[in-house]
Amino acid sequence: MNFSDVFKKLDREHLRLSLYSSTASDVEQALANPSGSLSALMALLSPAAQPFIEQMAQAAMQLTQKRFGHNINLFIPLYLSNLCANECDYCGFTMSNKIKRKTLNKIEIESEIEIIKKRGFDSVLLVSGEHETKVGIDYFSRVLPQVKKHFSHLAMEVQPLATAEYQQLIDLGLDAVMLYQETYQTNTYAKHHTRGNKKDFEYRLNSPDRLGQAGVDKMGLGVLLGLDDWRLDALMMGHHLEYLQNKYWRSKYSISLPRLRPCTGGIQPKSPITDAGLVQVICAFRLFSEQLEISLSTRESIELRNNLIPLGITHMSAGSSTQPGGYSAATKELDQFEISDERSVEEVSAMIHHKGYQAVFKDWESGWC
Nearest to 304 by CA among 287, 329, 279, 324: 279
Which residues sit at the interface with ligand SF4, rule CB under 6 A? 84, 86, 88, 91, 93-94, 129-130, 198
Nearer to ligand SF4, 130 or 293 (CB): 130
Smallest distance, Å, CB 177 to ligand SF4? 14
Nearer to ligand SF4, 177 or 308 (CB): 177
Smallest distance, Å, CB 191 to ligand SF4? 14
Cα gap 295→318, rounded to integer Å: 11
Backbone angles phi, psi at 21, to 5 degrees: -105, 10
Smallest distance, Å, CB 101 to ligand SF4? 11
Nearer to ligand SF4, 84 or 126 (CB): 84
- The residues with which 316 forms a beta bridge, in sequence order, are 74, 296
Smallest distance, Å, CB 180 to ligand SF4? 9
Residue 338: helix, strand or coil by DSSP? Answer: coil
CA 81 vs. chain centroid, Å, equals 18
Smallest distance, Å, CB 129 to ligand SF4? 4
Smallest distance, Å, CB 95 to ligand SF4? 7
Cα gap 81→78, rounded to integer Å: 9
What are the b/e assignments for 49-83, b being 16+ CB within 10 Å? beebbeebbebbbebbeeebeeebbbbbbbbbbbb
Smallest distance, Å, CB 228 to ligand SF4? 16
Q: Which residues contact 76 (CB under 8 A, 6 or more apart)?
A: 116, 119, 121, 123, 124, 125, 317, 318, 319, 320, 345
Nearer to ligand SF4, 55 or 264 (CB): 264
Cα gap 98→356, rounded to integer Å: 45
Smallest distance, Å, CB 218 to ligand SF4? 20
Nearer to ligand SF4, 49 or 104 (CB): 104
Smallest distance, Å, CB 89 to ligand SF4? 9
Nearer to ligand SF4, 84 or 219 (CB): 84
Cα gap 89→225, rounded to integer Å: 15
Q: At what angle do helices 163-171 and 207-214 cross, to 10 degrees?
A: 50
Nearer to ligand SF4, 198 or 218 (CB): 198
Q: What is the DSSP letter of 46?
A: S
Nearer to ligand SF4, 46 or 82 (CB): 82
Cα gap 116→123, rounded to integer Å: 10
Kindly write down the DSSP assignment for every residue of 15-40, as one continuous string: HHHHHHT--HHHHHHHHHS-TT-HHH
Nearer to ligand SF4, 132 or 303 (CB): 132
